[in-house]
Amino acid sequence: MRHLTITLQPDWKKALRDAGRLAVGGVRDGAYCGEFLNFESAGAFFGKLTERRWAIVHTLQASGPISVRELGRRVSRDVKRVHEDVQILRELGLVEPAPDGGILCPFADIHVDMHLQAVA
């Protein structure tokens, strides 16, 4: 079972170091520690992960591998637009091609870790 943590960290080098530390600990302990996706800003996050794209991810989590046409039917959207959104989600690593065709979301659990704080 794969897990994804999405973070918002303006310092992408720090985000990479943090993920690397967890990975090293996982390798040392022989345990899977999940996967990470970082966005440098809330604008970048919300620009890529729109409400409609979240609906695609959620639908794929619940259904397993399906075709883009069937996915479009399930989310009540035009197949062409769904295909465009799937391409962006593939670039982000949130969906993958299924071995027998179609697409799937490989993550059983997706956690968004977002902190907002006042700027001094």
| pLDDT recorded at residue 100 | 87
99 within a domain of the structure (yes/no)? yes
For residue 85, which phi and psi values (nearest 5 degrees)? -65, -40
Does 14 map to a domain? yes
pLDDT at 42: 87
Residues 35 and 1: their CA atoms lie apart, in Å, by 11
- Rg of the chain, C-alpha, whole Å: 16
Residue 101 lies in a domain: yes
pLDDT, tens only, 25-47: 555 666 777 888 989 888 999 99
Does residue 55 lie in a domain region?
yes
pLDDT of residue 90: 97
Query: Is residue 119 in a domain?
Result: no
Residue 16 has pLDDT above 70, yes or no: no
What CATH number does residue 58 fall under?
1.10.10.10
Average pLDDT over residues 14-28: 65
The per-residue b/e assignment along 30-59, b for 16 or more CB within 10 angstroms, e otherwise, is eeebbbbbbbeeeeebeeebeeebebbbeb
Q: What residues make up the domain containing 19?
A: 2-113
Domain membership of residue 71 (yes or no) is: yes
Q: In sequence order, which residues have a C-beta less than 8 Å from that of residue 78 and are 6 or more positions away?
A: 72
Q: What is the pLDDT of residue 28?
A: 67
Domain membership flag for residue 74: yes
Q: How many domains does the chain have?
A: 1
